[in-house]
Structure 1
Amino acid sequence: MADRAAIDTIRGYFYQFDYSIISVLNLLKDTDSILVEGVEDVDITTATETTAIQCKYYENTEYNHSVIKKPIMLMLNHFKDVKLGKKTEIKYNLRGFYKSGQSKLSLPLSIQNLKDDFLTYSQTEKINGVSTKVKHLHHDDLKLNDVELNDFLQLGKTGQFDHLIPE
């Protein structure tokens, strides 16, 4: 029988709440604000910018690119909406706590790393009635070129690893 305990999920929420509390305590001005569960888990707005922070807590998991692939793709979707004038520009930040494997993430990310490790995926599709694995390039689906991907990378701090919660 699978372990149905919610301990890991609760620890993830504590990680997010702890980060939110620390962020509130670090606000510099009365006009700065924090929104929990805004664009991402924690959004921090100052007079000059908004930063959307995704928090991942996987105490028992080794870091692999696939663990943060979806959040990065969703951030890129938001970035595309900004380019189309549908949303306001923000900065992106992805924080994570993992058991091990953090060294697999080479920072700063290059455009090629972004494409290969986070924006490329395979999906099984029916082609002429036959199930076939099809390679997708998320950045091509969004019609984003290398200059725009570089702009996206300049708005982000992906891969900040920390230990906010005592082990």
Structure 2
Amino acid sequence: MYAVLATPVSSSIGGGRVNLNFSIPVTIPANTQAQIVVNYNMPVRHSNATANTIGYIGCTLYKSVNSGTDTELEMGSRKYTVPGSYNGGTGGVGALGVPIAGFAIDVVSNTGSTPMNVTYKVDDYIEGNNSALSTITFGMFAEAPAPNFNWGRGAMSAQIFTKPIN
């Protein structure tokens, strides 16, 4: 199973969770144990080369069971410190950002008699965007037909391995 982010998501919040509406649903059959391997890659760029304007950018991997509360899968969450300055300053670097890749393994046991629905979701977050001076864009450099250069698109996949519970 896989998903590809369709449009870029931009935010200028000072800090907090940025909802990408980016998820993969998985159904675990009744009386089954499943191992789910989740991978994602998310291009992230920002608009401000001024030193110390953004603290951290990252991705958080969440899981929810049967449309319940999102729970973080810490194994799959990533956080990056934004450099204090870029070589060349504002005139020398045109695209400021990083690709964020995450990976997690989740083992789910469904001992019930009905299927269990599990949703894996990637949301981004921002910390320390001082006075919300910078716009942070997640998922791609630009939406088609604008050039995306070599940034790629936000993508997520899930591999499911199951075995019956006796």
Q: How high is the TM-score relative to the length of structure 1?
A: 0.26
> Which structure carries more helix by proportion?
1
Q: Relative contact order: is structure 1 or structure 2 higher (C-alpha 8 Å, sep ≥ 6)?
A: 2
> Which structure carries more strand by proportion?
2
Q: How high is the TM-score relative to the length of structure 2?
A: 0.26
